[in-house]
Amino acid sequence: MNALSATNRNFRHAARLLNLDSKIETSLLIPYREIKVECTIPKDDGSLTSFVGFRVQHDNSRGPMKGGIRYHPEVEHGEVNALAQLMTWKTAVVNVPYGGAKGGIGCSPKELSLSELERLTRVFTQKIHDLIGVNTDIPAPDMGTNGQTMAWIVDEYSKFHGYSPAIVTGKPLDLGGSLGREAATGRGVVYATEALLEEHGKSIKGLTFAIQGFGNVGSWVARLIHERGGKIVAVSDVTGAIKNTNGIDIPALLGHKEATGSLSSFDGGDDMDADELLVHECDVLIPCALGGVLNRENAGDVKAKFIIEGANHPTDPEADEILSKKGVVILPDIYANAGGVTVSYFEWVQNMQAFMWNEEKVNDELKKYMTKAFHSIKSMCRTHECNLRMGAFTLGVNRVARSTLLRGWEA
């Protein structure tokens, strides 16, 4: 099941639990605006090439729309639509005053030079600058884009609208980026894990963890769990997988990855099959890589008691059912990886006020938002007698439905 059908299915289930009117249910699914643009640029060799760019703005009932821009060859309309809708519910779950959006350009960033990427970003910004804005729609980095991409957008947008650092988040610090933003998604995953474990009378210290993915999110999760006394027994990414039943020395592994560009042949652990990581013996499994990795083929063999979804949509609905029957507790992506958008909100607030925070304040506020959201989800679980995924979806959908009704959606 792809991300769009899974999101729609979760939304419809939440709508039934909330007893939403069928008309409001339909209206909440329909995006506010869908934008498709052709971006034609000269390549370095003088030839012309064209790329298709998308921006789906899903909902603005709770505030400006918010969501990443990805550069990837498989960017297509259905996927962008699903991710925009997911952002609407995700921002509502952590209660930041945003709606959802998502965008992207169908290209292979690795095959473009830096100057070609800059031209492409500037042309895309020229095409959509009058449809985004600091109070309308605020993009951010995503797959294949980074702080430099955001810097180009700030510059191009500012040519039309005056200096506007708040037009995007995830910027370099020198252009008004926020301290703590780089670690935010991973740190949010750890705060979410702490809230869940506390509910079960446990803490990170002394438990065993397996982490799939060692990019930005996975490496920060590993670092912070290691600092808190958690034992990380297995780690994997596209370059390989390693295990050590006595716990992996994460600072040493980070150094090894930096030096060699790979996880494999690390002295402090044994190489293992990357597919085995998901079914490895551990207390807590944290998928931080791709979607759909837990499916009906492997869900029955998962040994973890807790799964924290650091990635977007790592668990197929079929796997969800199998794991629930086994009594595995799943902390859903819509909440678990919302640390990134929460600190993006803090960055936007700092830009709007032209007053920057120190890192300690950013992290303290993030912990408050993540902890409060967890208790709100648990409250929905008790009200509707549902699991954490439906607790999070009912919380998000209910907040959006209420603001939509208050604003007068039929007018």
Contacts of residue 188, defined as CB under 8 A and 6 or more positions apart, other chains included, come to 336, 337, 338, 339, 340, 342, 343, 366, 370
Pair 285, 302: CB distance under 8 Å: yes
What is the chain's Cα-based Rg? 21
SS3 324: helix
Q: How far apart are CA 184 and CA 363, in angstroms?
A: 8
Asked if 103 contacts 138 with a C-beta cutoff of 8 angstroms, the reply is no
Residue with tokens 């191009």: 156
Provide the H-helix boundaries in 278-338: 317-325, 333-336
Catalytic positions are: 102
Find out whether 302 and 323 touch, Cβ atoms under 8 Å. Answer: yes
Report the distance separating Cα 227 and Cα 225, nearest Å.
Answer: 5
Q: Which of helix, strand or coil describes residue 95?
A: coil
- At 52, list the tokens: 């298709």
Furthest CA-CA distance within the chain: 65
Runs of H (alpha helix) within 181-293 = 184-199, 216-227, 250-260
C-alpha 127: how far from chain center = 26
68: left (phi over 0), alpha (psi -120 to 50) or beta: beta
Residue 49, beta-bridge partner list: 41
Residue type, 223: R
Burial of 23 (C-beta count, 10 Å sphere; 0-12/13-18/19+): exposed
Whether the CB-CB separation of 34 and 65 falls below 8 Å is answered with no
- Strand, helix or coil for residue 52: strand
296 in Cβ contact with 318 (< 8 Å): yes
Question: Tokens 């013996």 sit at which residue?
Answer: 281
Instruction: Report the half-sphere exposure of 222 (CA within 13 A, side-chain side).
Output: 26
